[in-house]
Amino acid sequence: MPEIATVAGVGRTTLHRYFADRETLIYEATLDSIRVLSEAVDEAALDDGPAIDAMRRFITAGVSIGERLVFLFGDPAVLRDIPPAQSPNEELVIKLITRGQDEGVFDSDLNPTWIWHALYGLILQGCEQAMAGALPRHTVAPLIIRTFERGICPVP
């Protein structure tokens, strides 16, 4: 907890006033990150317009909260104690992928869940690379979009 207080720029006493222990702090940070993710997905308006445009908005929204995504999905233990009703909901993105397959912009030979996992892998890797300084942050979303679209669009 002392290291967390230092990074947060607060005293240990202040940190302990709000969070009794490290586990409580991580749990609350996880819930807050899920809330931020949910808001980003809502703002991406996945039901609006063509599926390809909605997917681009989703990717851009995900990259904009990259640190939160890396926190949530970079370590499986982070979500371990979160009740299913409060866990991140992947159904909206699966629905978008299915809609894109129906529109013919995403390859219908690929399982939507496979596409979802490949997409999240790209987003996480892009965000991790930006956080490590290996990629300029402003290039991450376009790079992911390019890689994603060239990998899951149907072959003409």
Q: Residue 127 class from Cβ within 10 Å (0-12 exposed, 13-18 middle, 19+ buried)? A: buried
- Domain spanning 2-152 has what CATH number? 1.10.357.10
Residues 6+ apart with CB under 8 A from 139: none
Q: Where are the domains of the chain?
A: 2-152
Structure confidence by residue, pLDDT tens digits, 104-152: 999 999 999 999 999 999 999 999 999 999 999 999 999 999 999 988 6
Is-contact 41 58, C-beta < 8 A?
A: yes
The DSSP letter of residue 60 is: H
What distance in Å separates the CA atoms of residue 96 and residue 99, rounded to the nearest whole number?
5
The DSSP letter of residue 154 is: P
Structure confidence by residue, pLDDT tens digits, 85-103: 899 889 999 999 999 999 9
